[in-house]
A and B are shown apart, each in its own frame.
Chain A
């Protein structure tokens, strides 16, 4: 059953996709995360913009969606924990992100601001997408099943109540922001 608030259907949903994307792209650019230097310097601990944006989005969105979910007003969309595929994929992704200088979303947004390197990488992403589809049957047989734990969430994994995990998430975000502020003061 669709959650109560999910009133967008059919063509409305498609228009909404454009509208939501518009806001997302606008925010990525205003946040400064469509910039090669901002992204790469995160991994050198010299610019924490990306971390600030992401951790705030996770804390605000997390608490909001947890409240809605508690009232049956929103559904979770959990991706499967396939240990080998997610671990290996993330490791490959990290290499690609630092070489490309963008992630898929910020890269796409950077193309729209005139970045030619982001455009070259977008072409590369099309090639990478084709490569994955062509190797998918092998991956599905050999990689995806290794350490497949299904749609696992931290409250189940840790055996803790939901509210404790969300309180921990907010505390962690606050702790990271305090560390970041300290590091920025030193620099």
Chain B
């Protein structure tokens, strides 16, 4: 299949309907980064020792490293994306993107290091804000939470500025 992508309005509507279902039958909003913080706790265990992870205020109270709703939702998300990619033959091991290459060249190492650093930054921000594009951006905004809209607006402004600085030269790409 050449064009596996669905209409973005349709996809948005289906994600909206999905959140109505999760809110009502599971009493859970859509969210990603709490589960990732729990996973980070699990990754920290062999490095810091499980005693130190258990003694940490954040991992003990907010992001307990365990197989629960939030972390299993992450597993499902990966399985769903994999399924979608396999069904339309879009699964491909790669790391190229045209916007990146236009500004920073084809070096894979450079791209991977930048993505790693970006991952550190985005996760620290997501935890400080107590949510990400799903937890604040979708679930928060749809409940008319002030925190959700504040997050959405500031994130967008910061992203515009960063894109100008990082990829300003690649506008033609």
Contacts of A149 in B (CB 8 A): 146
Contacts of A99 in B (CB 8 A): 114-115, 117-118, 121-122, 162, 166
Query: Are the CB atoms of A21 and B125 closer together than 8 Å?
Result: no
Query: Are the CB atoms of A100 and B130 closer together than 8 Å?
Result: no
Q: Determine the interface band of chain A, counting residues with CB < 8 A from chain B.
A: 35 or more
Q: Determine the interface band of chain B, counting residues with CB < 8 A from chain A.
A: 35 or more
Query: Are the CB atoms of A93 and B126 closer together than 8 Å?
Result: yes
Contacts of B94 in A (CB 8 A): 114-116
Query: Are the CB atoms of A90 and B79 closer together than 8 Å?
Result: no
Of B9, B14, B80, the residue contacting A52 (CB under 8 A) is B9
Contacts of A2 in B (CB 8 A): 27
Assembled-state Cα–Cα distance A165/B132 (Å):
23
Of A3, A55, A68, A85, the residue contacting B128 (CB under 8 A) is A85
Mostly, the B contact residues are helix
Query: Are the CB atoms of B144 and A111 closer together than 8 Å?
Result: no
Query: Are the CB atoms of A52 and B72 closer together than 8 Å?
Result: no
Would you give the 0/1 interface string for A59-93, flagging 1 where the beta carbon is closer than 8 Å to chain B? 11110110010000111111111110111111111
Query: Are the CB atoms of B119 and A121 closer together than 8 Å?
Result: yes
Q: Which of B68, B85, B114, B164: most chain A CB closer than 10 A?
A: B85
Contacts of B135 in A (CB 8 A): 79
Query: Are the CB atoms of B155 and A93 closer together than 8 Å?
Result: yes
Query: Are the CB atoms of A124 and B142 closer together than 8 Å?
Result: no
If the complex has contacts A93-B129, A94-B155, are A24 and B76 also in contact, measured as CB distance less than 8 A? yes
Contacts of A6 in B (CB 8 A): 24-27
Contacts of A128 in B (CB 8 A): 40, 119-124, 126-127
Q: Which of B12, B23, B26, B166: most chain A CB closer than 10 A?
A: B12
Pairs of residues from A and B, 6 with the lowest C-beta to C-beta distance, nearest first: A21-B76, A124-B119, A129-B40, A56-B12, A89-B129, A94-B158
Residues of chain A at the chain B interface (Cβ within 8 Å):
2-3, 5-8, 13-14, 16-32, 34-37, 40-44, 46, 49, 52-62, 64-65, 68, 73-83, 85-101, 103-118, 120-134, 136-137, 139-140, 143, 149, 151-155, 157, 165-166, 169, 177
